[in-house]
Chain A
Amino acid sequence: MDRWPSKWMDLPIGGVINIPGTSTWVKTGTWRSHRPVVDLDKCIKCLMCWVSCPDNSIIRLDDDYVDVDYTYCKGCGICANVCPTKAIDMIEEGGR
């Protein structure tokens, strides 16, 4: 099964969720008031932001540089705070 049944009769018995990782259907990026922006010129590929992100919103690229996936990012600012070179800025959403 890869889609959640639309009829209650088809629901799995016992409150079981039989599809792994269905929370990715919930786009928590809408929570955000500030967004992280990475300056790759300053990034030293330490990956502290990547291991520390509670929402797996730091994308680790093939060469270990990083990017942000805004779909789930709640804007907590941990990535900007842990970055040893201050390569990540938090910018207000809707602002310029």
Chain B
Amino acid sequence: MARQIRRLSEIPREELFVSGHGLCAGCGIPPMVKIALKAVDGPKVVVNATGCLEVATTLYPHTAWRVPWVHNAFENAAATASGIEAALKALRRKKNWKNYKIIVFGGDGGTFDIGLQSLSGALERGHKFIYVCYDNEAYMNTGIQRSGATPVGAATTTSPAGSVIPGKPENKKNLMDIVLAHRIPYAATINAAYPVDMWNKFAKASDYLEKGIGPIFFHYYSPCPVGWRMDSSLSIEISRLAVQTRLWLLYEVDHGKIKINVMVRKPKPIEEYLKLQGRFRHLLQPENSHIVERLKRYIENNWNRLLKLAELDSIY
């Protein structure tokens, strides 16, 4: 049994994701990966869609991973994981292999957009793995291009804010809704400002896999100082603000039952979140106030909707 914790001091010291990788100073990805690899106990194998995490942690012959790790293309991480699961099943039957737990890490580009159909297929077929989408809200590794995860109003290199458009004109896709449409046993959002909550979700996922329950999906809020044009020290602070403004809702869906993990009773104004990031700075100009209003309406409706859904015994 993986262990549920109440304090950070209960987390073991030994790291399976080590130093010397090339992720930017202040990158939000490692705090999640470190916890994932420790909280999911026993032997495991990592599948990584291309993106910052994949590229910056495996500059040949250097690898930051101390677990078996496989590179695959941008669009097929979930398909690769499905194949590994099938192969392990056969090896266990014929050669008495250990039971490896499979963890997939994919960016938002690799999950919301290009890898969506392979993810949907794998979820529908019910493969037993954990898929983590680390969402930094753009294609960062190739130079900050907008993705289906980029929020409305965010400036990227392919949605630059100016006189033509006020940053990205379209809304962020709701990936959790798409995942939940597959009625998988366990899905949750995770955030590095709430590491105990994040640990406990991975530990629960680990126990589910142990019992043959899957697939499991996590949506991780992954700050990117470079792409969000903010100070490198702010990654955890911005993660907390995202929750406290109700922009990022922390919840889990366990066999259809929604539980809200952080009840935000008095939300902070969204402007506090926007003003720390260069990608949103233009939104504070009067001519772009309609975008901020649009965001506020969305935040309010989305929160009210989650409260209502959480009253149901099951959304499945």
Where the two chains meet, the residues of A that have a C-beta atom closer than 8 Å to any C-beta of B are: 4, 15, 17, 19-28, 31-32, 45-48, 50-57, 60, 64, 69, 71-72, 74-78, 80-82, 90
Contact status B61-A22, CB under 8 Å: yes
Contact status A47-B9, CB under 8 Å: yes
Residues on B with C-beta less than 8 A from A27 are 20
Contact status B235-A78, CB under 8 Å: yes
Cα of A46 to Cα of B34 in the assembled complex, Å: 17
Where the two chains meet, the residues of B that have a C-beta atom closer than 8 Å to any C-beta of A are: 8-9, 11, 13, 15, 17-31, 34-35, 57-67, 192, 195, 225, 231-237
Contact status B20-A24, CB under 8 Å: yes
Residues on B with C-beta less than 8 A from A80 are 233
Contact status A81-B19, CB under 8 Å: no
Closest to B11 in A: A51
Q: List 11 A-B contacts (CB under 8 A).
A: A4-B61, A21-B18, A22-B61, A22-B62, A24-B19, A27-B20, A28-B21, A31-B25, A64-B9, A74-B24, A81-B234
Contact status A28-B8, CB under 8 Å: no
Contact status A71-B19, CB under 8 Å: yes
Residues on A with C-beta less than 8 A from B29 are 54
Which one, B11, B18, B26, contacts A78 given CB within 8 A? B26
Contact status A26-B236, CB under 8 Å: no
Contact status B19-A78, CB under 8 Å: no
Cα of A52 to Cα of B193 in the assembled complex, Å: 8
| Shortest beta-carbon distance from B61 to chain A in Å | 5
If A23-B19, A71-B19 touch, whether A46 touches B236 (CB-CB below 8 Å) is no
| Shortest beta-carbon distance from B52 to chain A in Å | 12
**Interface residue SS majority, chain B:** loop
| Shortest beta-carbon distance from B235 to chain A in Å | 6
Closest to A33 in B: B25
Residues on B with C-beta less than 8 A from A21 are 18, 63-66
Closest to A79 in B: B233
Cα of A55 to Cα of B25 in the assembled complex, Å: 8
Cα of A54 to Cα of B28 in the assembled complex, Å: 7
Closest to A28 in B: B20
Closest to A34 in B: B233
Cα of A48 to Cα of B192 in the assembled complex, Å: 10
Which one, A4, A52, A74, contacts B25 given CB within 8 A? A74
| Shortest beta-carbon distance from B19 to chain A in Å | 4
Contact status B25-A17, CB under 8 Å: no
